[in-house]
Amino acid sequence: MGKIKRGVSLYSYQQTQFFKELDLEGQIKEVGTHLFGADGIELLDEMSLRKYPDPPEAFFEQWYGWMEKYNTTPVTMDVFCDVLQFRDHVMSYSECADRLKSDIRLAKKMGFKNVRTLATTPLEVMTEALPVAEECDIKIGKEIHAPIPINGQYVNEIVEYCQKTGTKHLGVVPDWGIFAFRPSEVTLEWYVRQGAKRESCDLVTELCMDNHLGKSNELNAIDLSLYTAGNVESMFHRYLKHGDAPEDLLPAFEKMQNLIRENVPGYTDIDFEVMAQALLLSRTKAEDLKSIMPYIVSIHGKFYNMSELPGRPGCFQDISMDYEGPIQFLKENGYEGYINSEYEGQRRFQDRGIEDLISEVDQVRKHQEMLKRLLGE
């Protein structure tokens, strides 16, 4: 049996790129030289590639030079499709598929084995581009991002299509955010800086932890396969204004509303925004991965904030999500692909001055320490 491999999504370094602290080569060097043996590179085409979608030929020679110099491996290229990029129309499915085909060919030229599409990418777009993926021997992976559940339509349609056609070039990219069981502390601190009461932050954390530990069940009773993140959150705000909601959502909405009204003196609208964070969790369990194991293309190792484990200097954790259980499940069930660190906590510091910004480099290094330790390397 092979072992799970480690890499980094360069999305993690968006802030360092913006402030010109690390360019593309600098990001690759960081992965190859400071991350305890990690070698995988996940790249966002529009973020990382100058002159995308047609880099000059000289770039490809430079790219492969970096891969060799820093002993790194192209793993997954993240692709997007801005359907509003034209002033006169919204892109059709066929136009989106043409863009995806172009991205697949670019990924092939750069040595990537996978391309990741957004969770909202229609199946029809992916299947129209699939012949090019098969020709290039590239796997298309649809991201499964919180609060999308593994047992919902977004995943089932991929699995069913693969089973029906037998294709080996279509699958899913689970994002570790689906294993979050409470809002991140950096998210809650951001809300406090925007005017939320700290009591509302404590209440939403307590509500989420009670559901996670089985002490209450209002959130767990919501069938997220029936809703999107935006829909369920907007339904909560409609409930606050008009008092109506689908019957299966009412117990959770009532409890969330009452928690704020009864326990937060001087509450305002933003305190209900804090409470709505409880609706953005997939509440996925490690064993839920079983149904999609054959279809995993690669994995986003999402995290929001790494903090030191109490009493264990040099060892780190993200307190908002489960890493130990899913990693153990992946090991026991033979997953041999990449987990690529994807840091997303920096967005919760962008209301502050540059002197207060958190170090993306430091956060990724701490995340890789955790991955290496939990993988038993």
Give pLDDT tens digits along the chain (377 positions).
Answer: 469 999 999 999 999 999 999 999 999 999 999 999 999 999 999 999 999 999 999 999 999 999 999 999 999 999 988 777 777 888 899 999 999 999 999 999 999 999 999 988 999 999 999 999 999 999 999 999 988 888 888 899 999 999 999 999 999 999 999 999 999 999 999 999 999 999 999 999 999 999 999 999 999 888 887 876 678 899 999 999 999 999 999 999 999 999 999 999 999 999 999 999 999 998 899 999 999 999 999 999 999 999 999 999 999 999 999 999 999 999 999 999 999 999 999 999 989 988 899 999 999 999 999 999 999 99
Tokens of 173: 């990219």
Phi, psi angles (nearest 5°) of residue 201: -65, -45
Distance CA 236, CA 216 (A): 19
pTM exceeding 0.75: yes
Tokens of 22: 């690390």
CATH 3.20.20.150 region(s) of the chain?
5-180+284-375
Query: Are 336 and 212 spatial neighbours (Cβ–Cβ below 8 Å)?
Result: no
Residues 6+ apart with CB under 8 A from 5: 39, 40, 336, 337, 338, 339
β partners of residue 9: 42
| CA pseudo-torsion sign 144, 150, 155, 160 | positive
Query: Are 184 and 345 spatial neighbours (Cβ–Cβ below 8 Å)?
Result: yes
DSSP string, 16-82: HHHTTSS-HHHHHHHHHHHSTT--EEEEEHHHH-TTTTS--HHHHHHHHHHHHHTT-EEEEEE----
Neighbours of 298 (CB within 10 A): 25
Compute, in degrees rounded to 10, the torsion defined by CA atoms 310, 314, 318, 319: 0
In CATH, 5-180+284-375 is 3.40.50.300:
no
